[in-house]
Every structure is written in C-alpha cells, then in structure tokens.
C-alpha cells in the first residue's frame, strides 16, 4: 500500500470512528467531547479531563491510539483495522479505552 492509498484508507476509518463517537456523544450515556484536527487526528476528552488521541501515522502505515492504559497501533487487514499486538479491532479499542477512562460502558 503506497502512502496515498494509506491516507485514503486511514481517513475513511477515522471518519467511521468520528461518526461512532458522534452517536455515542448524542446518546447521553457518557459525557465526552471530541475534536477532529488537521492531519488525521481525533482528540477525545472525557468529563474527568483524561484524553484519548487517535492519529494516522503514514510512515508506519498505521493508526495509533494513545490512552491512559497505553499506546496501541492498528494496521489494515482485509478491510478492518486490527491491533498489531492483540488483534483487537480499532473501533472496539476506542470503545474499551473510552469506557475505561469515562467510567461507564461505551458501545460504538
């Protein structure tokens, strides 16, 4: 996958994550804010002030997630973004880390 293909695939996935976050935010179950920043970055801030950062990393051809519990890397595999360490899917990892940091179960 060349850089152009990676950026297109990563942007599509980050748009999917953003839509899921929007639905979760509107549900009222959990209180958090998120902002999409230039360069393929999504910053999520929980009510308690903790943050989760997602960003695309073109050099590694990965999407990175930074949360209180650690850093996670995801690569595209058969149309899904999978964790390089444990095989967890990106959207599931975002839901898990947001649940951990917000203190309530979040489903995306």
How much is the pTM?
0.93
Q: Which strand ranges, in their side-by-side order, compose the sheet holding 62-67?
A: 32-37, 41-46, 51-57, 62-67, 70-77, 80-83
> How far is residue 64 from each of residues 1, 14, 47, measured CA to CA in Å?
17, 11, 22
pLDDT at 29: 80
Q: Assess whether pLDDT exceeds 90 at residue 108.
A: no
> Average pLDDT of the chain?
94
Per-residue pLDDT band at 28 (split at 50, 70, 90): confident
Q: Which residues contact 87 (CB under 8 A, 6 or more apart)?
A: none
pLDDT at 30 over 90: no
**pLDDT at residue 65, rounded to an integer:** 98
Cα angle at 35 between 37 and 13, to 5 degrees? 70
């Amino acid at each position: 996958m060349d850089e152009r293909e990676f950026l297109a695939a990563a942007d599509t996935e980050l748009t999917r994550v953003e839509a899921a976050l929007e639905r979760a935010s509107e549900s009222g179950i959990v209180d958090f804010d998120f902002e999409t920043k230039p360069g393929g970055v999504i910053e999520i801030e929980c009510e308690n002030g903790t943050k989760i950062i997602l960003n695309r990393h073109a050099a590694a051809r990965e999407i990175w997630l930074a949360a209180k519990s650690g850093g996670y890397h995801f690569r595209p595999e058969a149309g899904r973004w999978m964790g390089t360490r444990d095989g967890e899917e990106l959207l599931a990892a975002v839901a898990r880390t947001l649940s951990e940091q917000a203190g309530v179960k979040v489903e995306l």
